[in-house]
Structure 1
Amino acid sequence: MKVLLITYYWPPAGGPGVQRWLKFVKYFKEFGIEPIVYIPENPTYPLIDESLISEIPSDVTIIKQPIFEPYRFAEIFSKKDSKTISKGIIAGRDKQSFVQKLMLFIRGNFFIPDARKYWVKPSVKFLNDLISIEDIDIIITTGPPHSIHLIGKELKKKLDIKWVADFRDPWTTIGYHKKLKLIRSARNKHIQLEKEVLSSADHITVTSYTTKEEFSSIAKQSISVITNGYDTEEVANIQLDTTFTISHIGSLLSGRNPKKLWRAIYDIAQENEDFAEHLKLRLVGAVSEDVLSSIKEAGLSDFLEIKGYVSHKEAIEIQRSSQVLLLIEIDSEETKCIIPGKLFEYMISERPIIAVGPRDADISKLIEETGSGKYFDYNAYDEMKRLLLEYFSKFKEGKLNSQAIGIEKYSRRSLTKEMSMLLKSLANGKL
């Protein structure tokens, strides 16, 4: 059975957006699915990770077509601001420069649904013939960027082919939409396009249960939750850090800023000399100036190590060598649905997780279900402080670890089997 995957993110792109479908493609053939991957020829990726190229199966057909992206022109005015915004790191309104405000206004109101919209028409024209030549059974679009779904919508209209729309994140309720300075007509256009996509696709896949509930209120199409997951990574024997290392791996956007956690860490360091001697707060990935300022204002500068962006392989090694892993989500209603892919990698690292985010988030249920750590809302200062002291005590005894339970279903191979069964059922008219 042949499927055509239409995606913007693909190696050498780095970051979490590329890994979901890279892993599906990696295991598809084991379950009778032959994928053909359609990607842009000259994309503007905010993050690069050359190490992911080695995971692309050598026998997979990959087709590339040129894309026009206005981000290249935005760099004329400010390369730094353009790069930062494309990574999703948007400063608070009071800290935005005039150039940043202008870029956000233009991005939100002139490039709907996003700045990759100019790839839609040429892609539809090119793929219209390719689908017949290759005898494709199903097309799959994955977003963000959600303009990719418009390619699927147009191909569905022209060819009446089976189409799965995969949402790695929500569309109109995603947190950064509030920062795009949308005027009413632009906001309505996003809502209209979202409804058209959700109502036109033959099936919708999402990565969280809250997103499924949200989309079910918009369209009557069938929706499946297939989360992100972990892969079996071959890394050398990793030695645990001799310091009490608390590590966050991934982007720390402006809103991912649990000030009471920073204060709890600082207060323990002030009260406990042994804790202060062993403490290291390690941040791996892009960090917004807002978060960095909060950490320094909390008095943690002397304990801070900033690694910047690293390859996926190195990120796995850091996860497994750290004493404690931090997972932080923005404290808002819109982010309750976010289940980052790194959560599952954290789970198999055998290191305890401290997660902070909005109350009743999907993440909290998964952490509780697997026993892989503790989840807190942003105001849980006392509870976070107690747990940090408990983890430090176990660290001193050499007994700090985590054995997550029931996580086999989140392996990339198991999830690919689930996705393959879904695609076959759709192709056979049973879904």
Structure 2
Amino acid sequence: MKVLVITYYWPPGGGPGVQRWLKFVKYLRDFGIEPVVFTAENPFYPTVDETLIQDVPDGIKIVKCPIFEPNNIVAKFKKNETQRSAGFLDPNPSLISKFLLYIRANYFIPDARKFWVKPAVKMLIKYLSENSVDAVITTGPPHSLHLIGKKLKEVTGIKWIADFRDPWTSIDYFHLLPLTNSARKKHFRLEEEVVRAADRVIMVSSNAKKKYEDFNENIDVITNGFDTEKGLEEVKIELDKKFSITHIGTMNSERNPKAFWEALSEISEENSEFTDDLELKFIGKVDDSVWENEIESRGFKDVKRVSYVPHLEAKLYQRKSQVLLIVVNDYPSAKEMIPGKTFEYLQANRPILGFAPEGGDLAEILSNTNSGVAVDFRNKELAKKSILNLYSNFKKGNLESTSKGIDSFHRRKLTEKLSVIIKDLIQN
């Protein structure tokens, strides 16, 4: 069996957007499925991580198509400003930033890669006519790629799986975009058309699946996961000497655990020994508003800030930390959100302190695996109690993770689940 995987994010692109389908492609051959990857020839990646290339299996066919990238033009307009990804909206935008965001939100629907749809469809229709492929898989965001899959199905009749690596209209920053009513309606209409048209739909969380069930009965949930990294298992890990709490990844203005900062401040004021023992680490981009208003202003003694490290190094930070901090954006669809790093946190086997809504997928995973606790966004008292419990165990020398059942989140296990879906679609 052969499947065509259409993905914008691919090595050497860095960041979480690459991981999901890089790992699926890595293991699909183990289950009798040969992947062919279709990606952009000249993509605009906010981050680059050359180390991820080593995970691309030998001999994998990779087809590339040139793409017109408006972000390259935007970068010239904003050459004196810090570039931000879609989910990292500037809380204090300049006039030009406001203008560019308005244009992007209302004229590049569903996203700035919309100009890739026609040339990609043209190239792939020719490719499919000359090569035997059993199914097409599109993964978004960018959700423009689903429009490629939809058109290919309409023209060629090929079976099509739409994978929503992140939600479309319920993604964490959608409600912040300056959308006109007509633009908003167009997003919702295109989203529904894609879900209805796809032969199978894959979501990453149970709460996300619920939103789409009225549009398509063939929806599966495959979460993100963790993988075994070459060389990492042999590295001897020494835990941080101090009571370290580490956050890996982006912390934007909406991913700002106020109850956490307030609890830490109160404990520090009440316990000078805690203040001396505490070490905060932020590996990844932290929004200036969070850094200045919540971290610097509170005067924490020992704070480390690293903007970006290669994936393997990030996993080492996870394993050395006493406690791992994970935060879901505080937004209307927060229950759907499971940050990709959740699963590598599970693999790191360190206690996890999460800030997420009750009844959400993240809270359920932490509870079911006994890997940590999820605190509601504004529950300062539970945050304080949880931190003090962790600190007490640290002082006793027995701060350990007691997680269970995490093997089901290994990338190979998840790929096996994907392979069943693919085979079922192709054979029926």
Structure 1 contact 316–345 (Cα < 8 Å) conserved: yes
Q: State which drifts further: 267-276 or 283-292.
A: 267-276
Cα distance between partner residues in 2 of 1:82 and 1:399: 43
Partner of residue 324, structure 1: 323
Structure 1 contact 46–87 (Cα < 8 Å) conserved: no
CA shift, 1:395, in A, is: 1.1
Partner of residue 120, structure 2: 123
Cα distance between partner residues in 2 of 1:79 and 1:255: 25
CA shift, 1:384, in A, is: 1.2
2:422 equivalent to 1:409: no
Partner of residue 161, structure 2: 164
Structure 1 contact 201–221 (Cα < 8 Å) conserved: no
Residue type matched to 2:186 in 1?
K
Mapping of 1:12-411 within 5 angstroms?
12-79=12-79, 81=81, 83-84=83-84, 86-92=85-91, 95-217=92-214, 219-233=215-229, 234-235=231-232, 236-296=235-295, 298-411=297-410
Residue type matched to 1:103 in 2?
L
Cα distance between partner residues in 1 of 2:364 and 2:412: 22
Cα distance between partner residues in 1 of 2:176 and 2:380: 28
Structure 2 contact 328–338 (Cα < 8 Å) conserved: no
Structure 1 contact 394–400 (Cα < 8 Å) conserved: yes
Cα distance between partner residues in 1 of 2:357 and 2:180: 27
TM-score scaled to structure 1, two decimals? 0.96
Cα distance between partner residues in 2 of 1:231 and 1:400: 24
Cα distance between partner residues in 2 of 1:80 and 1:130: 42
CA shift, 1:295, in A, is: 2.0
CA shift, 1:352, in A, is: 0.3
CA shift, 1:418, in A, is: 0.6
Cα distance between partner residues in 2 of 1:253 and 1:286: 8
Distance 1:21 1:242, change over 3 A: same
Cα distance between partner residues in 1 of 2:103 and 2:275: 47
Partner of residue 422, structure 2: 423
Which digits, 9 at most, give the CA deviation of each residue in 1:329-372, with x for residues without a partner? 11222121011221111012111000002332110011000000
Residue type matched to 2:303 in 1?
L
SS at match of 1:115: coil
Note the residue ranges of structure 1 that are not aligned, 5 or more in a row: none
Partner of residue 8, structure 1: 8
Cα distance between partner residues in 1 of 2:103 and 2:14: 26
SS at match of 2:142: coil
SS at match of 1:107: helix
SS at match of 1:265: helix
Cα distance between partner residues in 2 of 1:368 and 1:296: 28
Structure 1 contact 262–298 (Cα < 8 Å) conserved: no
Cα distance between partner residues in 1 of 2:205 and 2:384: 29
CA shift, 1:81, in A, is: 4.7
CA shift, 1:221, in A, is: 4.0
TM-score scaled to structure 2, two decimals? 0.97
Distance 1:135 1:229, change over 3 A: same
Aligned residues: 425
Cα distance between partner residues in 1 of 2:404 and 2:309: 28
CA shift, 1:303, in A, is: 2.5
CA shift, 1:311, in A, is: 0.7
Residue type matched to 1:395 in 2?
F
Which digits, 9 at most, give the CA deviation of each residue in 1:195-246, with x for residues without a partner? 11111110000100011100113x1341000111111224111110001110
Which digits, 9 at most, give the CA deviation of each residue in 1:134-177, with x for residues without a partner? 20000000000000000001100000000000001111122211
Residue type matched to 2:193 in 1?
E
CA shift, 1:132, in A, is: 2.6
CA shift, 1:273, in A, is: 1.7
Which digits, 9 at most, give the CA deviation of each residue in 1:95-140, with x for residues without a partner? 2221221111011001000000111000000000111322000000
Which digits, 9 at most, give the CA deviation of each residue in 1:229-271, with x for residues without a partner? 1112241111100011100001001101112211211221222
Structure 2 contact 12–48 (Cα < 8 Å) conserved: yes
Structure 1 contact 104–179 (Cα < 8 Å) conserved: no
Cα distance between partner residues in 1 of 2:299 and 2:4: 49
Which digits, 9 at most, give the CA deviation of each residue in 1:265-304, with x for residues without a partner? 1221222121111111110111111211232365144332
Cα distance between partner residues in 1 of 2:297 and 2:270: 15
Structure 1 contact 107–180 (Cα < 8 Å) conserved: no
